Amino acid sequence: MGLKKSKNLFEKAKEYIPGGVNSPVRAFKSVGGHPIFIKNAKGAYLVDEDHNKYIDMINSWGPMILGHAFPPVEKAVKKAIKNSFSFGAPTRKEVEMADLIAEMVPSVEKVRMVNSGTEATMSAIRLARGYTKRDKIVKFEGCYHGHGDSFLISAGSGAITMGTPDSPGVTAATAKDTLLAPFNDLEAVKKIMEANPGEIAALIIEPVVGNMGCVLPKPEYLKGLRELCTQHGVVFIFDEVMTGFRLAPGGAQERFGVTPDLTTLGKIIGGGMPVGAYGGKTEIMDYVSPQGPVYQAGTLSGNPIAMSAGLAMLKHLKKNKDIYTQLDETGFEIVNGIRRTLLELGLNYSINWVGSMYSLFFTEVDVVDFETAKTSDTALFGKYFHEMLNRGVYLAPSQFETLFISTKIDDKLIKKILKANRESLISITK
């Protein structure tokens, strides 16, 4: 498989872009080699600058749940472009999007559009602090909520991949207001809240973690957090940038039957365009300017092109709820196929899976939190990644990322993925 053009582009990129990439995990530092530069994509496939073709198992880190260049989304974008690219003024599409989100997501009564998941989480935390008049927040080790200062404390994902889990540039004053808890440990959260009475504004969590690999909440864990937040007057925030509209039409909160106070959204909500949102109870959202005193603004927020793409995506998902049954079945087939191979080869790796999200961890322990995720053999994962890449399957270039399945993965492609997986595991364990 030739990668000459990608290699040359990476060398050129390093002259003008820090590390040669515009988001750290793309640099392939944790798996070795150089990144693949993508030229185009359609359906289930990516095509790189050297014309190599790959089955895509990250789907732009989640948004492409219906595959690349999904025709209704593409049509909506082309239609919207004719009316110009941006107005900096309200549009009908923003109202339609807000209405649709409120209809689909259980916790959302009002919603504010922003431009990224990071903007959404930063804004939600500021809102929670303004609403409660408290300063501290609780986050979980290994959960990643974007690159806002408050969140880059034991952040997982790109931070741990790059070997800098606590980023320089985050002040000590900011760090002291972020309280850390291990994921899936309800007792630890209880102790934190009891030790900081009347001081905690918000607890933010990925209901299914995607940024230390896919890690599921234990039964009743999310419900327990909901009860603790209610008891202590803490704003309960679900970061559903990844899980929103992916695990169910109403996201993880619909799937698990737990309703937070605020929800942050991104990825699927824009159909592939840069977009984010945060929303929740009216009494909290009415604290946002210009209705209330908590300031947040954005020149391109509610961009008409992004709104058009997102509306087309969400309308399709709302109308075709059987998509989620299909995705569950596809995930089941892939994960069970991998498990059969592991059993056949006598390998004791760990797999976590829910719906269309899964991760294969190169560790023999069950991965339930950040500490167990970090027991993974990242060097072995790097070998596995390249073996899969050489067989035409594009995985996330980090052990600490989840994989995302699209509806374009059919039975034929499942067989190809499982064949590549079996051959790759045999190759790296010889």
List the beta strands (DSSP E) in 75-205.
110-114, 136-140, 178-181, 200-205
Residues annotated as catalytic are: 144, 239, 267
CA distance 59 to 66: 9
Measured in whole angstroms, how far is the alpha carbon of residue 173 from the centre of its chain? 28
- Which residues, other chains included, contact 315 with Cβ-Cβ below 8 Å and sequence gap of 6+? 100
Q: For residue 257, which amino acid is it?
A: G
Instruction: For residue 245, count CB atoms less than 10 angstroms from its CB and return exposed for 0-12, middle for 13-18, buried for 19 or more.
Output: buried
Numbers of helices and strands, H then E, in the chain: 15, 14
Q: Are 203 and 237 in contact (CB under 8 A)?
A: yes
CA distance 182 to 185: 6
Give the burial string for 416-430 (b: 16+ CB within 10 Å, else e). bbbebbbebbeebee
- Which residues, other chains included, contact 284 with Cβ-Cβ below 8 Å and sequence gap of 6+? 127, 128, 131, 235, 261, 262
Please state, as a whole number, how many other Cβ atoms lie within 10 Å of the Cβ of residue 103: 12
CA distance 182 to 187: 10
* DSSP symbols for 136-154: EEEEETT----S-GGG-SS
Instruction: For residue 195, count CB atoms less than 10 angstroms from its CB and return exposed for 0-12, middle for 13-18, buried for 19 or more.
Output: exposed
